Amino acid sequence: MSEPAAAGLADFEVIKDSHTWRIVASGSWTMAHIDVADTKLRALESETFPGIVFDTNSVFQLDTSGAWLVERLRRAAKARGVAFEHVDGELRHTRLTDVVREDETDTSPVLLEKPRLNPIEQVGRMMSGAGADFLTACYLIGASIQGAQMKRGHRGSVRINAVINQMDHMGVRAIPVIFVMSFLVGAIIAQQGAFQLSRFGAELLTVNLVGILHLREIGVLITAIMVAGRTGSAITAELGTMKMREEIDALQVMGLNPVGVLIFPRLLALIIVMPILTLLSDGAGLLGAMVVCALYLGITPDQFINALEVGIGTRHVFIGLVKAPFMALVIGLVAAVEGSKVGGSAESLGQRTTASVVKGIFLVILMDGLFAIFFAALGY
């Protein structure tokens, strides 16, 4: 192609016959030289034309602007229901026009059918997920013990500093909220018990009612629920954030067992502080009941304590304390399992944290019921 031709503007010639119009393009079909061809093509598109053959063999330079003019004419031909063909021996030109051409897809809205709720399938999925979570929890127990190297003769088998730090977060800092909640619940039980028992002239039995109910059930249950909501969610969020930031992978690269380093100190600290918090909850609940009895029934603190000594045995305190470590283990394992499921998004972290709290509270209530049935069967 000669230099004068290379400097020419984009243009075309129309060869018409009764069946097909052949458009023979020439010049440089680029952004800088396309104005004239664009104006002429717009005028051509307004006419009534039969099939179109667009020949760009004589075009020596074609960019996306020129390819778009070819595509625009193709769409005009398609809208009128006539044939359109692009002819060019230069493979680069045809590929460019193919890139500019949008996919011929159906843009009509697609109505998605909602999946039918199959109760049996849903139950099956829930049971399968529960089984997988149980196996993961068993793995975490074994891996945490093995990772901590709890064998005689190993140095640094248990990281005392990490355990003490977790006890501070899970136990010491939880004392105010557990004390206040237990105090209020004990006071409410005492007030309602006194109100109902006063109809039968048995107000003094309020002490027995509060003592047995709070020491056996309410104290450990309130503590477990508060720990599941406060500590369980924190464990899930911490482990999930570490997983999102690939800190757990970094521990594995360093040759450390993430379960032993991250989960074992939390589980051990939770098992240690749970009975202590339960004792605190018991004391706070009885203190609240004592205040209500003094104000509502006129029972002095000395009379309240004497009634407790006579009517309540140490076995009720023991029953509540026995439940505490098992509930702590369940809360910690649920939180760790949900933390291991966190994906790479903040939404996943929120969902797993919520699931950790819900599952933890459900399981501690279920465990409390099973313990109640077990001790009742023993007559204890």
Q: How confident is the model at residue 28 (pLDDT cuts 50, 70, 90)?
A: confident
**Which of 60-69, 115-124, 228-237, 292-301 has the least mean pLDDT?**
115-124
Do 289 and 204 form a contact (C-beta atoms < 8 A)? no
SS3 375: helix
Q: What is the pLDDT of residues 194-223, one digit of tens each?
A: 888 888 878 788 888 888 889 888 999 999
Q: How many CB atoms lie within 10 A of CB 31?
A: 12
The CA radius of gyration of the chain, in Å to the nearest whole number, is 39
- How long, in residues, is the chain? 380
Task: Provide the pLDDT for residue 6.
Answer: 43
Share of the chain above pLDDT 90, in %: 27
Q: How confident is the model at residue 1 (pLDDT cuts 50, 70, 90)?
A: very low
Distance CA 53, CA 56 (A): 10
Q: Which residues of 48-57 are buried (b: 16+ CB within 10 A; e: fewer)?
A: ebeebebbbe
pLDDT at 160 over 70: yes
pLDDT at 275 over 90: yes
Residue 184, class by beta-carbon neighbours within 10 Å (0-12 exposed, 13-18 middle, 19+ buried)? middle
What is each CA distance from 48 to 20, 72, 301, in whole angstroms? 12, 16, 105
Q: Quick one: average pLDDT of 223-250?
A: 90
9 φ, ψ to 5°?
-75, 160
